[in-house]
A and B are shown apart, each in its own frame.
Chain A
Amino acid sequence: MKLHMFIVRRLILLVPVIVGVTILTFTISHLIPADAAAAQCGDKCGIVVGYTDDGDPITAYEANRERLGMNEPLIIQFGLYVTHLYEGDWGESSTYHRPVADVVKDAAPITLEMAFLALFIAYPLGIILGIISAVRQDRMFDHISRFFAIAFVSLPIFWFAMVLQLVFATGTESSGICDPLFGTSGGCFPIYGRHDPSLTYPVDGFASFYPAGGTGFHLIDSWFVTDEKLATLPEGWSSNWLLFKDTLLHLALPCAALGIASSGSLLRYMRASLLEVLHEDYVRTARAKGLSEFKVVIVHACRNALVPIVTILGFSIGGAIGGAVLTETIFAFNGMGRVAVKSIQYLDFPVIMGVTLITAAIFLLSNLIVDILYAVIDPRVRLE
């Protein structure tokens, strides 16, 4: 099969899943006992905003119901919802008082930035430990690293994040290792938030360094802050590098928490995959040729063992976004996880639907990309 045919086919396969996700989220959010019409008018629901043809008064609440199509049968409501989605109207958040699309657009890069960076930690860690574990199979190192792999998977991520905060972000007599070790008062890393709150500088009325039309990824945006704005910054902060460093430091702990938690399963996959490859004929042949063990493992075996690891990349991104719900809550990042938690707590169902749809879309898209990558690396899968 040609590669482009493969891609087209995969795209077609996505359609039913996306439709399913829409139906599922729509159903769930309609089961949630919240009245969007009442949420939008708040305490002004009783106010009469107009009159029907018969002269009966229409309250704000009734008008809202009418406008939101809540008097229609569910199936029509679903149709309306999908049409609006398609037109880019995702509804209005009752907690944020902003369009859902804007809320999600602000939140998504925060989560993605964190998830990507976390995988940046998880993959090298998992793969390297997995290789060593496989090579030193059934020795002490293997046992220990397997134990830790399982232990990492077993850690409650929210608790682990708090432990990291305790150890690396606080400097008190009772806890924290940074004070005695590095002499940094208040810990090595900021305890929460995306920026240093004392150093944010009001720009155009907002406490932000970053240009409005940026990517939302602060690791990137920090390099595009214009000089004029920088010129008004406090002393010592007049460089993009410092902004970048600030972002990175704030990201360090949440990403470490997420990354270490995901590295456990990666280690196990890598170990299993490499063990499988190490028993293949061509590896034996390579050994028989007298190549050094290092060369055999790194050059011959790992290259092939890594191929299946690529497939779980898509799932790890999904897992990292799921884990972000908890880490964001702890580290006070206003990413999608925190938005989801908040919208659920306040029964704000347009946001719930929006966030769910976007996370699903990200998950599906990353899986698609991974699948295509896989098909490029290993043409055999295209045949299946």
Chain B
Amino acid sequence: MTHDSKTDEILLDIKGLRKWFPIKSGMLTTVKSYVRAVDGVDLQVIRGETLGIVGESGCGKTTLGRVILGLIPMTEGSVHYDGEDIRMMTNRDLRRRLQIVFQDPGGSMNPRMSVRSIVGEPLTVNGIAEGAELTQRVADLLASVGLKRDHMNRFPHEFSGGQKQRIALARALSLDPEFILLDEPTSALDVSVQAQVLNLLEEIQSKRDLTFVFITHALNVVNHVCERVAVMYLGKIVEIANTKDLFSKPAHPYTHALMSAIPEPSLDKVARRRIVLSGDVPSPANPPPGCRFHTRCPIAEEGLCDVEEPKLESIGEGHSVACHFPLGPGMTLPILGDDQNPPEDDDMPNTVLL
């Protein structure tokens, strides 16, 4: 799953994207403050690739996705799809070319609609197919995600999590989009089903020439699926690199901490050492000044990290990091205390929680 760097064509270009949710206090009152869910994201997605976005819960991944799709208005910045500002695109165009699979597949389906109506809805509302043709197309779509034709007349609550995920995928595919944003498509599934869904995604991608943005917690999945990975922390991208680079030489201390949490024996010993991040995740409503990670960073320096915000800067080919002290290859984080080696069982009480 590597891409040919010569044919790089930027499909999605995100510049300085901000999404601040106002916290209002009642009527007639001015906005008091904002939740800075996404706070200055620059990101490019290349046609045909799979870009992973990882980060802790609440760091703004879903919000970023919703803004990209134009489902909620952005506060600042711009998103260009295929050279065109998504705000200037017609709704019809936007919806047909960009699709999303929501984080909660069950919740993203109207409980009072049959699978036929759910998967066929994009076709109906865009006036593409109706009646018998619609039925046929829905059946084809279901078949393409590995579901049976007679699942069509059932209702969402009659399906398992994996099946729901497939239905959601079928719906996203129904308009034959070029780009699909997958918001944690596997996190609710057990490992075997996870693998099935991932394989399905891969198959569909190669068949339909799709571009994926893959939002997830699970780094092992990222390793398996994505060509490039962006790491998010509190509404900002802190590091972005090719998957291989990111896993072999993570530069941001936060990425280090994440890597160390992967319970996968194949990773080398260094990364296996659990890094305990001290303190809680700061609130996005009140992010710390300077580098957002400095409150939990073991190598943060007073006077710099808590004052000046680091910029995302390139440290190698396709590898950028936003840190004042990016770690070189092979460097490790100072570990607080001695016995940080994990116990053999994969119980991880104090590791960073994704």
A357 to chain B, nearest CB (A): 24
Does B88 sit at the interface, judged by CB under 8 A? no
Residues of A within 8 A of B192 (CB): none
Interface positions, chain B 8-37, Cβ under 8 Å from A, are 25-29
Distance in angstroms from B31 CB to nearest chain A CB is 14
**Interface bin, chain A:** under 10
Query: Which chain B positions have C-beta within 8 A of A383?
Result: 25
* Those of A38-84 within 8 Å (CB) of chain B: none
Residue of B nearest to A12 (CB): B28
A102 to chain B, nearest CB (A): 37
- Bound CA span A113–B165, Å: 64
Taking the nearest CB of chain A, how far is it from the CB of B191, in angstroms?
35
- The answer for the CA separation of A13 and B26 in the assembled complex, in Å, is 11
A31 at interface, CB cutoff 8 A: no
Contact with B along A1-33 (1 / 0, CB 8 A): 100000001001100000000000000000000
Q: Would you call A13 and B25 a contact (CB within 8 A)? A: no
**Is the C-beta of A384 less than 8 angstroms from some C-beta in chain B?**
yes
Residues of A near B27 (CB, < 8 A) are 13
Q: Which residues of B (297-349) have their CB < 8 Å from a CB of A?
A: none
A383 to B25, CA, bound (A): 6
List chain A residues, Cβ under 8 A from B28: 9, 12-13
By a CB distance below 8 angstroms, the chain B residues around A9 are 26, 28-29
Query: Inside 8 A of A384's CB, which chain B residues have their CB?
Result: 25-26
- In the assembled complex, the CB of A10 is this many whole angstroms from the nearest CB of chain B, namely 10
- The chain A residue with its CB closest to the CB of B27 is A13
- Cα distance A12–B29 when bound, in Å? 11
Chain A residues, Cβ within 8 Å of B29: 9
Chain A residues, Cβ within 8 Å of B25: 1, 383-384
Q: How far is the CB of B234 from chain A (nearest CB, A)?
A: 24
Interface readout for A90-109 with B: 1 if CB under 8 Å, 0 if not? 00000000000000000000
Interface string of B178-222 (1 = CB under 8 A from A): 000000000000000000000000000000000000000000000
- Determine the distance from Cα of A91 to Cα of B27 in the docked complex, in whole angstroms: 35
**Which residues does chain B contribute within 8 Å of A1, judged by CB atoms?**
25
| Cα separation A1 to B29 with both chains bound (whole Å) | 12
User: How far is it, in angstroms, between the C-alpha of A13 and the C-alpha of B25 when the chains are bound?
Assistant: 14
A383 to B26, CA, bound (A): 8
User: Complex formed: what's the CA distance from A50 to B26 in Å?
Assistant: 58
Q: Taking the nearest CB of chain A, how far is it from the CB of B26, in angstroms?
A: 6
Please, what's the 1-or-0 string for A187-228, where 1 marks a CB less than 8 Å from any CB in chain B? 000000000000000000000000000000000000000000
CA distance A1 to B26 in the complex (A): 11
> In the bound complex, what is the Cα–Cα distance between A12 and B28 (angstroms)?
9
Residues of A within 8 A of B26 (CB): 9, 384
Q: Which of B101-127 contact A (CB under 8 A)?
A: none
A282 to chain B, nearest CB (A): 24
CA distance in complex: A298, B126 (Å): 61
CA distance A219 to B29 in the complex (A): 44
Residues of B within 8 A of A12 (CB): 28
Taking the closest CB of chain A, its distance from the CB of B32, in whole angstroms, is 10
- In the complex, the chain B residue whose C-beta lies closest to that of A10 is B26
Please give the distance in Å from A5's CB to the nearest CB on chain B: 10
Q: Which residue of B lies closest to A1 (CB)?
A: B25
Within 8 A of B (CB), among A345-384: 383-384
Kindly report which residue of chain A lies nearest to residue B24, judged by CB atoms. A384
CA distance A9 to B27 in the complex (A): 9
Complex formed: what's the CA distance from A9 to B25 in Å?
11
Q: A12–B26 Cα gap in the complex (Å)? A: 12
CA distance A9 to B28 in the complex (A): 8
Scoring B residues 27 to 62 as 1 if CB is less than 8 Å from chain A, else 0, what string do you get? 111000000000000000000000000000000000
Q: Which of B26, B28, B29 has the most CB of A within 10 A?
A: B26
A1 to B25, CA, bound (A): 9
Give the CA-CA distance A1 to B30 in the complex, in Å. 13
Q: How far is the CB of B237 from chain A (nearest CB, A)?
A: 33
B294 to chain A, nearest CB (A): 30
CA distance A384 to B28 in the complex (A): 12
- With A and B bound together, what is the CA distance between A13 and B29 in angstroms? 11
Closest to A6 in B: B26
Tell me, in angstroms, the Cα distance from A337 to B162 when the chains sit together.
Answer: 64
User: Separation in Å of the B121 CB from the closest CB of chain A?
Assistant: 36
Nearest-Cβ distance from residue B213 to partner chain A, whole angstroms:
36
- Give chain A nearest CB distance to B37 CB in angstroms: 20
Q: Shortest Cβ distance from A168 into chain B, in angstroms? A: 48
What is the bound-complex CA distance between A1 and B27, given in angstroms? 14
**Cα separation A117 to B27 with both chains bound (whole Å):** 35
Residue interface mask B146-159, A partner, CB < 8 A = 1? 00000000000000
Measured in the bound complex, the distance between the Cα atoms of B29 and A9 in whole Å is 9
Within the assembled complex, what's the spacing in Å between the Cα atoms of A1 and B28? Answer: 14
CA distance A274 to B26 in the complex (A): 28
Q: How far is the CA of A234 from the CA of B224 in the complex (A)?
A: 103
- Listed A/B pairs (10) with beta-carbon separation below 8 Å: A1-B25, A9-B26, A9-B28, A9-B29, A12-B28, A13-B27, A13-B28, A383-B25, A384-B25, A384-B26
Closest 5 pairs (CB-CB, A-B): A384-B26, A12-B28, A383-B25, A13-B27, A9-B28
If A13-B28, A384-B26 are given as contacts, then 4 extra A-B residue pairs at C-beta distance below 8 Å, sorted by A number, are: A1-B25, A9-B29, A383-B25, A384-B25
